[in-house]
Amino acid sequence: MSKKHYGVIGHPIGHTLSPFIHTRLLALSGIEGEYGVYDIAPEELDEQFDKTLSKLDGFNATIPHKQAVMRLLTEKDETAELYGSVNTVAFNRHSDGTYTSKGYTTDGIGFETALKNAGIDFGEKVTIIGCGGVGRVFANTCVKNGCRLNILECKAALENAKTFAKTLNERYGSGTAEVFETSEFNAESDLLVNATPIGMFPKTDACAVSDEVISKSKAVFDAVYNPTDTLLVKKARAMGISAISGMTMLVYQAAAAQTIWNGSSFDPKDIEQLAQDCFKELNK
């Protein structure tokens, strides 16, 4: 069997745990492969897709490419079409030297599994901060689990959030989603979700919402995994609120990507152990 080649794209991407995670997952699958990191600026995406990325067997996409890369793909699976973003791309090469590409999103699987393992329920009312690529996945996942949404955005992105909320209301029914400017929101939530990079290393002293908003939440999920515990997670726990970071989600969505690429399956105990090892790796 020939060696497989994968990677992750983002900008700026800095230190990422993706190579550590996927190298372990490849080993657990008995597959010889390598996993690289590609810092690609938005204006270089088209050129690098054909020049570099298409030479891989597949790749993952993170900020800011989850939505932008969709226009370059031959095909998107149903979930990616629904969520309007992809985080996993697979290539299929043909004998004539051409290739096709297909996009998927595995964030929803990782999100649901992480919450379940932490004993956190979606509840009836979920507040999501941000509606970029991962925020849209979270929003659709929550609605499919019977939730109503508050979507928070900064003033500059408010119109984009309103357009997205309109789509959700048309798709799932009037009143499914409401939009608020983050700085003006002050309501209760069964689950508060941060779907922005706010609080990510190195700007670890930032928090996506006010203490008052946190205190009115029954549970908190922060998609950021570096640092291990963001300021949002720390504040919530100090208030006695169940809160988790994005590490377990990161590992489960990576495992789902390996299933897409190689048909791999994993023992949940191996995945949980990998998540714990990721915390150690992050804190080295």
pLDDT, one tens digit per residue, over 8-18 is 999 999 778 99
Catalytic residue among 3, 66, 234, 269: 66
Decide the pairing of beta strands 99-104 and 88-93: antiparallel
Residue 99 and residue 51 in contact, taking contact as beta carbons nearer than 8 Å: no
13: how many CB neighbours lie within 10 A of its CB?
16
The pLDDT value recorded for residue 201 is 87
The pLDDT value recorded for residue 82 is 84
**End-to-end alpha-carbon separation of the chain, Å?**
34
Give the phi and the psi of residue 94 in degrees, each rounded to 5.
-110, 160
The pLDDT value recorded for residue 117 is 86
Residues of the chain below pLDDT 70: 1
Q: What is d(CA 273, CA 275) in angstroms, rounded to the nearest whole number?
A: 5
The CATH topology of domain 4-105+248-282 is: Rossmann fold (3.40.50)
Question: The whole model's pTM is what?
Answer: 0.85
Token pair of 84 as six digits? 């309007």
The CATH topology of domain 108-245 is: Rossmann fold (3.40.50)
User: Where in the chain are the domains?
Assistant: 4-105+248-282, 108-245
Token pair of 20 as six digits? 């550590």
pLDDT, one tens digit per residue, over 156-189 is 999 999 999 999 999 999 999 999 999 999 999 9
The pLDDT value recorded for residue 1 is 59
Q: What is d(CA 170, CA 161) in angstroms, rounded to the nearest whole number?
A: 14
Q: What is d(CA 236, CA 243) in angstroms, rounded to the nearest whole number?
A: 6
- Residue 183 class from Cβ within 10 Å (0-12 exposed, 13-18 middle, 19+ buried)? exposed
User: Would you call 66 a catalytic residue per the annotation?
Assistant: yes
Tell me the residue type at 24. R
